Structure 1
């Protein structure tokens, strides 16, 4: 952990003047969020989705830097960013990362057990934590909503729906949620999540206006081109689609591979529900399976790995480690630190192996946690 923090500190110290060693503003992606909220407050919600206006405001505030950082998020997320426009950039960045990191810590501590101090040390050493903080991204928030919603679902389904519904701000992380809730028969949470998602959208429409939603929809084609044409380097991503593109396969083949990988994740979620595995085990499998679904998944989105890893580790504390589990948990824990480098420097896109290994490991741990007839039958199969 000390080595990782030392490298990060040197990276930022080498830049100076609020920039990292590559000449980009510290917080990189948060630049896009902060500028979008500035533009929205000054000129209206629609202007935040005007690529020209957003780009001019970004260059005016930060200079040409390392290129334009686009804003493709739905107006629900822009609505959450609006208060950040009232603060100077670095104050807003600090508030954003501090508040969302606290929510992430509270959520992971529940899954991991133990004290807040031990959970904080664990997350401080978890590479996706540093990746998200370095980018100024929203993965602390999305992981906190995902994990917090699953926790609340056990006793407070309507609160769970409110949290899970807010994932409409980044909907590709919620693709498997309706499937999982339906297969489990969690109909109150299913209805609450749908109603909350609609409510968040309506609230953003009331605050930002129709123009914001029209601009967001108009930019979906550009967002797709960003994925398919490599405007965001595939080596930065951790999806099966990106892995195929790193290996220089065509877009159609990459989509086919992604669909097959997503089908495996969906099948795991369905079978976990049909086998009546313990609910926390089903939640861990759902979180792991979510990382197999979307073709547009960045390495900082692997903050979601903390949920299945924490649940799996907690299982080992109750029953002891199986022979392979210490090595598997350690490898999965540190792997995100090297995925982008291996994909960039050596054209080795190993991220799908990591997410598949996490899903398989949680499945095996779930079977050992459930002595039921269903679990024994599933293990035999």
Structure 2
């Protein structure tokens, strides 16, 4: 049964009101930036209400311009000195921040001529455009359904990316392009996957799942494109810069527990936040995540003849949220393909409503863990992913017709 005009009109009004509200908050953030901050008892300073991570990358570009790329990645104290202009002491990292790869940091240097509010405005426009394009590529005609339209317009992770200056919508757009191409054009799909190199822990994970299914062409294209980008970057900027970048990421990982592990939604965050401060070794959590990833790849290999390349990559991205050591609530945006895939296989009515509601609740669980000081999203994400497998691939009431 298709939704009627009245229900569509109601959802359009609700979605429009939500967008106007969120854009008003964005405009208020610009005002706060120019007005010199908000009351001191909130302990925020100018620049922190919106675009905090965008400010971090601008600071890295400033250091690269003044000190050179090598020192940008070698000396994390320079980053902290730059951030002291914008962040209160309790908001700064205790170790090296995760920075963009050197090629992207270098590309940001010419944009330093623009004031930071222009960066925020440009980033907000790109974020909204990428989110709209991703929704069109992944959902398409499904957006005519009021429930799907409301989910798309009000998904907390989308606005989380906008407020924090995160790159989640850009990653989702590249992922959507890969998913659209991988079935008929696996080489093109693999190249789009490799283009997500600003999240260096994502593409290898997805490529591993493609390999587990036997998608050799997709895997080869991902590896070749990633190595080509790395070779180009190293030839332009030097191997020593990239070695410093890798070291900075390792340092970032070692400081994970010190940087509020409860903000991470994966099993790594749950493991670390459940132990006393400074007592956890992240290698144990990483080992657990690696074992779970291998088990998931083994399941994909066993079912490789029953799953399409689209289904495998959507499933892999959803698994990545629980298994990645650095996934945060704003990364839940990348589960949108899996949410749509399962939604397509459910009958219209209550099941679809519950499924999309559970997707929205994952975002609240991720944010709630941050305030609770204990990461509890990982078990919920795992149940959501494999519950989706059960709902989508084990149709009822026909016994024995289970695809998974």
Question: Is 1:258 matched up with 2:289?
Answer: yes
Deviation by residue 1:213-261 (Cα, 9 ceiling, x = unmatched): 132133234212221xx23211211011111222226535544543454
Aligned to 1:48: 72
Structure 1: gaps spanning 5 or more residues: none
Partners of 2:265 and 2:322 within 8 A in 1? no
Equivalent residues in 2 for 1:101-250 (5 A)?
101-114=128-141, 122-227=151-256, 230-248=257-275
Whole-Å separation in 2 of the counterparts to 1:273 and 1:77: 36
262-271 or 242-251: bigger deviation? 262-271
Whole-Å separation in 2 of the counterparts to 1:198 and 1:367: 36
1:340–1:64 distance in 2 versus 1, CA, 3 Å:
closer
Question: Is 1:304 matched up with 2:304?
Answer: no
Whole-Å separation in 2 of the counterparts to 1:93 and 1:244: 35
Partners of 1:145 and 1:164 within 8 A in 2? yes
Question: Is 1:36 matched up with 2:60?
Answer: yes
1:361–1:131 distance in 2 versus 1, CA, 3 Å:
same
Whole-Å separation in 2 of the counterparts to 1:86 and 1:226: 33
Equivalent residues in 2 for 1:326-345 (5 A)?
326-341=353-368, 343-345=369-371
Equivalent residues in 2 for 1:288-299 (5 A)?
288-299=318-329
Aligned to 1:9: 25
How many residue pairs were aligned?
A: 370
Whole-Å separation in 2 of the counterparts to 1:153 and 1:179: 14
Partners of 1:262 and 1:294 within 8 A in 2? no
SS at match of 1:169: coil
Structure 2: gaps spanning 5 or more residues: 1-14
Whole-Å separation in 1 of the counterparts to 2:373 and 2:247: 34
Residue 64 of structure 1, CA deviation: 5.1
Aligned to 2:304: 273
SS at match of 1:331: helix
1:334–1:12 distance in 2 versus 1, CA, 3 Å:
farther
SS at match of 1:251: coil
Residue 355 of structure 1, CA deviation: 1.5
Whole-Å separation in 1 of the counterparts to 2:328 and 2:37: 22
Aligned to 1:376: 401
Partners of 2:57 and 2:99 within 8 A in 1? no
127-136 or 213-222: bigger deviation? 213-222
Deviation by residue 1:286-310 (Cα, 9 ceiling, x = unmatched): 2212212212211111111111112
- In the alignment, which of 58, 79, 102 is matched to residue 83 of structure 2? 58
Partners of 2:267 and 2:378 within 8 A in 1? yes
SS at match of 1:295: coil
Q: CA RMSD in A?
A: 3.5
347-356 or 257-266: bigger deviation? 257-266
SS at match of 1:231: helix
Residue 4 of structure 1, CA deviation: 9.5
TM-score normalised by L of structure 1 = 0.82
Partners of 2:37 and 2:46 within 8 A in 1? yes
Whole-Å separation in 1 of the counterparts to 2:320 and 2:107: 23
Deviation by residue 1:124-151 (Cα, 9 ceiling, x = unmatched): 3001111111110111122222232122
Whole-Å separation in 1 of the counterparts to 2:395 and 2:132: 25
TM-score normalised by L of structure 2 = 0.78
